[in-house]
Copies of this chain bind each other. A is one copy, B any other.
Amino acid sequence: MTGFDYAARMERARRELVVREVDVLLISLGSDLPYLTGYTAMPLERLTMAVVPRDGEPVLVIPELEAPRVTPRPDVFRVHAWGETEDPVAIVAGLMGRATQAMIGDHTWSVFLLGLQQVLPATRFLSARPVTEALRIIKEPAEIGLLRTAGASADRVAALLADHPFAGKTELQVSREIGAMLEANGTDVAGFAIVASGPNGASPHHEAGDRIIREGDAIVVDFGGKVGGYSSDTTRMYHVGDPPLRYREVHEIVRVAQQEAVAAVQPGVTAESVDRAARSVIEAAGYGEYFIHRTGHGIGLDGHEDPYIVSGSSRELEAGMAFSIEPGIYLPGEFGVRIEDIVVCGDGGVERMNNSPRDVVVVA
């Protein structure tokens, strides 16, 4: 999390507060905090919270024992470390002054919001999303560079998996192997690896488990990790032995749907129209009811963030937005197929962060 201009980001945040007539922005768990300060809070019971007043100095309130983790950035914030027997909610409330309107980061634990509401009954609390989204949705060139590096790392793993033995192993075992492969191929932190074999593939968010992979299985492999804080996320399909015709047909429908949606990405088109581009291919093939999720999600410091590529979203895409395109068909009791790339919308066209082959890969 070095190399970014946190002071400029903080200044942009404060300009958003002025426009929205908000007195103070409160940022705790999640990616908004590292975006603004370079520091990531530990997801534990001790409160870490940046208090960003519209006017005045931003303060990072942090448990004393975690203060040594913070890289000092005196031009961006000062640090207020609280001791084990102090009440951090009271400290934050004290720093908020007589705020009429406060915005609070979406991932902040409710227990802290309830505590603040009790201490400051006259303050109106709002979701910080309009501000944090405005800041984060258009990626800076350095952020796109990290997404590209993360994508290339995942692509190397996707290629290695073509020669990787699957049969006879449990999903969990393969999932752990993919984690190690990510870390050996340039990813800082292996984030996740869904390995959903055979009928388990029909559950889009299947958790890799004890099922032993065997001949004839289609395997949904959806994985990613972080490089410099930025996530990769790609899905490829592997098949133990030659796939039957029915599998090949469904795979081809998903591949074309994914290609059509990627081709639809350009500045000025709506998110829902990109979703429609994928969905109409799948519907025309008669599988509409088996495509049970949206087409994609934004990506950056969070694995899922704005913009969401979903029916009903009239948001217009802009250059610099990064998101997944990942249609799927899920046939209960049989198998699932999903193909996913991260793409970046550019002025001159769309750039894919993932470029490994999208055909079914036959494995042993």
Using CB atoms and an 8 Å cutoff, list the residues of chain A in contact with chain B: 42, 44-45, 64-66, 68-69, 83-85, 104-115, 125-127, 129, 176, 180, 183, 202-207, 292-294, 297, 303-305, 310-312, 332
Contacts of A125 in B (CB 8 A): 114
Do A294 and B110 touch across chains, with their CB atoms under 8 A apart?
no
How many Å from the CB of A271 to the closest CB on chain B? 12
Chain B nearest Cβ from A41, distance in angstroms: 11
Count the copies.
2
Contact (Cβ within 8 A) A109 B110: yes
CB-CB nearest in chain B for A28: B110
CB within 8 A of A310: which of B84, B106, B292, B311?
A: B84
- For A297, what are the chain B residues with a Cβ–Cβ distance below 8 Å? 45
For A66, the chain B residues whose CB sits under 8 A away are: 204-205
Please name 11 pairs of A and B residues whose Cβ atoms are closer than 8 Å in the assembled complex, sorted by A: A64-B292, A68-B202, A68-B203, A68-B206, A68-B332, A83-B292, A84-B310, A105-B110, A107-B109, A109-B110, A110-B110
**Structural contact, A205 and B65, CB atoms closer than 8 A:** yes
Alpha-carbon separation in the docked complex, A42 to B332 (Å): 21
A44–B304 touching, CB < 8 Å: yes
Contact A203/B114 with A108-B109, A310-B85 known, Cβ cut-off 8 Å = no
Interchain nearest-CB distance for A324 vs B (Å): 13
Q: Give complex CA distance A83, B206 in Å.
A: 17
Give the CA-CA distance A45 to B293 in the complex, in Å.
13
Beyond A125-B114, A176-B183, A293-B84, whether A205 also contacts B69 by CB under 8 A is yes
Beta-carbon contact of A311 and B84 below 8 Å? yes
Out of B110, B112, B205, B332, name the residue touching A104 (CB < 8 Å).
B110
Cα distance, A134 to B24, chains bound together (Å): 35
CB neighbours (8 Å) of A42 from chain B are 205
B127 touches A65 (CB 8 A): no
Cα of A246 to Cα of B110 in the assembled complex, Å: 45
- Give the Cβ gap from A26 to chain B, nearest Cβ, in Å: 9
Do B106 and A129 touch across chains, with their CB atoms under 8 A apart? no
In the complex, the chain B residue whose C-beta lies closest to that of A45 is: B304
Question: A85 touching B127 by the CB < 8 A rule?
Answer: no
Residues of B within 8 A of A84 (CB): 292-294, 310-311
